[in-house]
Structure 1
Amino acid sequence: MKDLKLKEQERILNQVLQYGLTKIWFYLLGILFLLVAAFFMFWFFLHDWWGITLFILLILLGFFIIFRNYYLWKKNIFYITTHRLIDIEQRGFFERIVSEIPYDQIEDVHGKISGILGMVLKFGNVYIQTGAGRVKIVLNNIKRPLQLQQQINELRERYLSKYNYDFSGDVVSVIADKLYELELPDLYKVKKVLDNRINKLGK
């Protein structure tokens, strides 16, 4: 949330994380290392420095697996805002990929639930496509993917009905509304164009 810079008048409507139960195997692996270290603790301590070293390594490895799994789960977030979709993909401690799609660039959204566990626990994937049918964002192991698909489609339709105008009408109002979607660097570009146009008309 701290790294997410919202545009003017933009609000976050929903935050989506992967379904927690799909990560349970990683937690169990970390707990297994901790249990092995605890169960053989006295045996390790009887074997001098290498036994103690192995005990410490098992403890550190167990906590590392648990912490890394939790960290990646919390950092991989999908945001739904009033203006766009933002996907933050944390692939490790030092690699992060941020993708975003404005609603007017979305071509198709569809959800998929497969497998017995998916049907019982109601989790699956959501695929978001942009122009030319290219998949831009894939959300894996999301809780209630069909409801998420419906929410995105409804917000997309609402956004398009609000911001896609007929320019044969009041052009000034349309342009003024569109300016609220721009970031500061883009506004400076618009200002430069307007200044040049005003100077030409004023001569």
Structure 2
Amino acid sequence: MNIVKKINLNEDESIVFILRRHAIYKFVSYIFALTILLAVAFFVFWLLAQGPFGNVLIGGGIFLAVIVSVRAWHKDNGNFTVITSARVVDISRKGFLKELVSSVKYDNIKDIHIKKSGLSANLFNHGTIVIETKSERTILELEKIHDPLQAQTLIEECSENFARNGKLKDQDAIYSAFIKSIPDLDEERLYEVKDFLEARLTELSTEKLEGKIENDNQE
């Protein structure tokens, strides 16, 4: 399974973390399958004595255990959430042939909160992370996530980094456009730019000096 192709990862985007369902849900299915096999093994001689009907029950029990195990493996490997540097992508398998891929970009996230209910959720520390979008049309629910508080913090940190990098890119774009426009400016506008830059540099120097004085006073 190529996650990069599955989520259509962009060139300037990287995978930060992958969230999966709590392991307890996988183990419950495997334990159920093992219980079926143990039951078949325990009654195997009695079932064999029942003739064709017993053979059918043995075969049916083994087949059911295999189906439960394969389904658990398929569901565990097919349901996960990819946290990238630009968005949250949730991949959910609704069956053996049906898959749903949903994504929300960080700049479209309105709120992130956690839902935990029941003894199991509090005992084994798992829950649902709910991501609401600004448009309020999309609500992404990441279910049965282990340590949802840590996962929520990770998503929020990635969102903050995305916003910070976006501002830096905007500044770079403005600077690049400004530099390219300088040769096209006439003398009058160049002097206006010069006066503005000198005034701005004076402001920055004053702010820096005031900050240094304040730090010295605190020490």
Q: TM-score, normalised by structure 1?
A: 0.76
Structure 2 residue corresponding to 1:58, chosen from 61, 66, 91: 61
**How far apart, CA to CA, are the structure 2 residues paired with 1:86 and 1:172?**
34
Q: TM-score, normalised by structure 2?
A: 0.71
**Equivalent residues of 1:18, 1:140 under 8 A apart:** yes
CA apart distance, 1:22 = 3.0
The alpha-carbon distance between structure 1 residues 62 and 79, as it changes in their structure 2 partners (threshold 3 A), is same
CA apart distance, 1:169 = 3.7
Q: Which position in structure 1 is the counterpart of 2:22?
A: 19
Instruction: State the identity as a percent.
Output: 29
The alpha-carbon distance between structure 1 residues 168 and 58, as it changes in their structure 2 partners (threshold 3 A), is closer
CA apart distance, 1:167 = 10
Q: Does 1:131 align with 2:131?
A: no
Q: Does 1:69 align with 2:83?
A: no
- The runs of 5 or more residues in structure 2 that have no matched partner are 179-219
Of the two structures, which has the highest relative contact order with CA contacts closer than 8 Å and spacing of 6 or more?
1
Provide the secondary structure at the position in 1 that maps to 2:91.
strand
- The runs of 5 or more residues in structure 1 that have no matched partner are 174-203
Q: Does 1:141 align with 2:130?
A: no
Q: Which position in structure 2 is the counterpart of 1:198?
A: none
Q: Does 1:106 align with 2:117?
A: no
**Equivalent residues of 1:89, 1:96 under 8 A apart:** yes
**How far apart, CA to CA, are the structure 2 residues paired with 1:118 and 1:50?**
42
RMSD, matched Cα: 2.2
Q: Which position in structure 1 is the counterpart of 2:10?
A: 7
- Number of residues of Structure 1 aligned to a counterpart in Structure 2: 173
